[in-house]
């Protein structure tokens, strides 16, 4: 194995071991099981234990049973992928509202304007302001839907980020304990 691949492997092992609680690392160190762990992994466990505790426990002795903390299960009342999908659809729907609402009103107004019996050039100038106001109000309507749906999507993404950050902080606090 070349040096770069070996260094990468060592870094990955260290990252995984640093996620483990100190009690787990002590159990690995005391068992010193070379069937389950490589020499590199055991050396990394040794280094991490020295960093965390300052000393190493004796090897070969059976680890004392660890009273596990009673932790709340990782209860989530949502599926992050579903929420991300909803946020994605909200963004798509916002663009649809911005385009479809004014286009449909414009089409409806123009068809009803052309279908009027007795439409003359003089009459059309009287109907154009109503046509323009109808289309303008639909553009404003579409823009409001656009803003609201974009805000909903962004809010969902922010809430997912907050939830993820609190879980990471909780795991980091548990790891330090």
Q: What are the tens digits of pLDDT across the range 51-74?
A: 877 777 777 655 444 444 444 445
Residue 157 near residue 91, CB atoms below 8 Å: no
What is the percent of the chain with per-residue pLDDT over 70, rounded to a whole number?
Answer: 89
Give me the pLDDT at residue 75, please. Answer: 57
Summarised one tens digit per residue, pLDDT across range 107-146 is: 998 888 777 777 777 777 777 888 889 889 999 999 999 9
Per-residue pLDDT at 61: 55
- Whole-number Å distance between alpha carbons of 28 and 41: 10
One-character DSSP codes across 45-62: HHHHHHHHHSS-PPSSSP
Average pLDDT in the 77-104 region?
90
Structure token digits, residue 92: 């798509």
Q: Which is more confident, 99 or 45?
A: 99
pTM of the model: 0.50
What are the backbone angles phi and psi of residue 79, rounded to the nearest 5°?
-110, 115
Judged against a pLDDT cut of 90, whether residue 151 lies above it is answered with: yes
d(CA 105, CA 177): 62
Cβ-defined contacts of 108-113 (< 8 Å, 24+): 109/134, 109/135
Task: Read off the pLDDT band of 169 (50, 70, 90).
Answer: confident
Give the whole-angstrom CA distance, residue 44 versus residue 170.
24
Angle of the 39-53 helix axis to the 22-31 helix axis, nearest 10: 130
**Dist CA 79 CA 87 (whole Å):** 13
């Amino acid at each position: 194995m070349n040096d770069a691949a070996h260094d990468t492997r060592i870094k990955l092992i260290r990252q995984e071991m640093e996620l483990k609680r100190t009690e787990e690392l002590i159990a690995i160190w005391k068992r010193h099981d070379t069937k389950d762990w490589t020499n590199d992994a055991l050396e990394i466990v040794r280094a991490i234990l020295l960093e965390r505790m300052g000393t190493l426990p004796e090897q070969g002795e059976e680890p004392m049973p660890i009273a596990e903390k009673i932790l709340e299960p990782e209860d989530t009342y949502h599926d992050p992928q579903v929420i991300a999908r909803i946020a994605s659809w909200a963004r798509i729907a916002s663009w649809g509202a911005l385009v479809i609402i004014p286009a449909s009103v414009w089409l409806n107004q123009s068809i009803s304007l052309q279908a009027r019996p007795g439409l003359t050039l003089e009459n059309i100038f009287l109907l154009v302001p109503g046509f323009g106001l109808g289309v303008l109000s639909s553009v404003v309507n579409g823009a409001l839907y656009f803003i609201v749906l974009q805000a909903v999507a962004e809010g969902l993404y922010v809430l997912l980020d907050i939830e993820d950050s609190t879980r990471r902080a909780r795991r980091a606090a548990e790891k330090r304990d």
